[in-house]
Structure 1
Amino acid sequence: MANRGPSYGLSREVQEKIEQKYDADLENKLVDWIILQCAEDIEHPPPGRAHFQQWLMDGTVLCKLINSLYPPGQEPIAKISESKMAFKQMEQISQFLKAAETYGVRTTDIFQTVDLWEGKDMAAVQRTLMALGSVAVTKDDGCYRGEPSWFHR
């Protein structure tokens, strides 16, 4: 966010430890799965944490992802809008998180909206997406697209 300055001292050390948990290889795997799962014309983002964050930040890709895990007509998010307004984007991220929890992702595996919006903990975003993929593989309801070995059962 524009009003948040750089962190120093202990805050900086904590932020650096959080950033070290981010996995670039996992990012590639998740991007490939999301694009395959959504089966829509979703553009592949350039590699890197900042591009991954930017790709997910408006919530549209996340909402399309969770909707793709349901049979047609049963999607949990009825309206997905590509808005440039911050509150609308954060609202869509929140809708995704609520739908992911309803789908079966444990509360402890769910990231906070600010983790993605401010880019403070992109590793938490990766953990949520991994947990979502694992639940989708486990459900075995025919809605999962992708290699089952990509996620833990």
Structure 2
Amino acid sequence: MSYRAVKAGLARDTQIKIDSQFDIDEAKKCLYWIGEITGENIEIQDLDDRREMSYSFHGIMKDGILLCKLIDALLPDGKKIDFTKKTFQETNNQAFKMARERERIGIFLMKAQEYGVPDTNLFQTDYLYERTNLVQVCTCIRALGIEAQSRPGYQGPEIWPKKSEHNVRTFSEEQLKAGQQVIGLQYGSNKGASQAGMSFGKARMILD
């Protein structure tokens, strides 16, 4: 069994900051959505402590099985995951077990990227496996949910914000030329301006 050295100094401060941003409700929402999409009976503990909930979330997600079942349920025929491979088989060898768990997470990330999740919303394998950034893991699942909801035929629960849609507008050449004649308000206006009533300085005195 491998052990990870305890972080110290700046690395420790950074980890504490990341852990403090872990959203309990968002994690529960992710687990609920995964359960609805995969049909798996996920036991979501009713925890209010951030640390305890992060450990619970990590324990459920760490082996990558649920993640692979999630993305597989969303993928169209022809792009499904082959769950008969050794990657998804149980083993008593600890080294093989760890390697397969990491590989499953990698498969999910690759498939999620192909599905349409932006690179900025993906996470590194160690973020989940080593529990170093579960915030980003939730961000990725959320992004996947938003993408899934925008697809035709989606039958899961609508719990994520709707994906923004492009609103492309086209203008005629006449409209574009007319726009060039308009002076923006940030440049001010001289409409109705005059020097009436304006005086500067003291009036000049002329003495004989």
Tell me if both proteins adopt one fold, taking TM over 0.5 as the criterion. yes
**Structure 1 residues 67 and 106: alpha-carbon distance in aligned structure 2, compared to 1, 3 A threshold:** same
**Structure of higher CA gyration radius:** 2
Structure 2 contact 72–81 (Cα < 8 Å) conserved? yes
1:57 aligns with 2:62: yes
Asked whether the equivalents of residues 109 and 128 of structure 1 are also in contact (C-alpha less than 8 Å), the reply is yes
Partner of 1:134: 146
**Deviation for aligned residue 1:75:** 4.2
Alignment of 1:110-125 (within 5 A): 110-125=122-137
Tell me the equivalent position of 2:156.
145
TM-score by length of 2: 0.66
Compare 116-125 and 47-56 and name the one that shifted more: 47-56
Higher helix residue share: 1
Report the CA distance shift for 1:17/1:144 in structure 2 as closer, same or farther (over 3 A): farther
Q: What is the distance in 2 between the residues matched to 1:68 and 1:144? A: 11
Instruction: Confirm or deny: 8 A CA contact 1:111 1:124 kept in the other structure.
Output: yes
Matches within 5 A, 1:3-152: 3-39=3-39, 41-46=40-45, 47=47, 48-71=53-76, 73-79=77-83, 81=88, 83=90, 85-139=97-151, 141-147=152-158, 149-152=159-162
Structure 1 residues 75 and 45 mapped into 2: Cα distance closer, same or farther (>3 Å)? farther
Relative CO higher for 1 or 2, CA cutoff 8 Å, sep ≥ 6? 1
Write the letter of the residue equivalent to 2:57: F
Match for 2:154: what amino acid? Answer: C
Secondary structure of 1:145's partner? coil
Aligned residue type for 2:153: G
State the secondary structure of the residue aligned to 1:150: coil
Q: Cα distance, 1:70 vs. partner?
A: 2.5
C-alpha change, 1:63 and 1:91, in structure 2 (3 Å) is same
Give, in angstroms, the shift of residue 144 of structure 1: 4.3
Q: Which amino acid aligns with 2:161?
A: F
TM-score by length of 1: 0.88
* Alpha carbons 1:70, 1:143 under 8 Å: kept: no
Answer yes or no: is the 8 Å Cα contact 2:32–2:42 preserved in 1.
no
Q: Which moved more, 1:105-114 or 1:78-87?
A: 78-87
The answer to whether the 8 A contact 1:105-1:132 is kept is: yes
Change (3 A) 1:144 1:124: farther
Give the Å deviation of 1:82: 5.1
How many pairs were matched up? 149
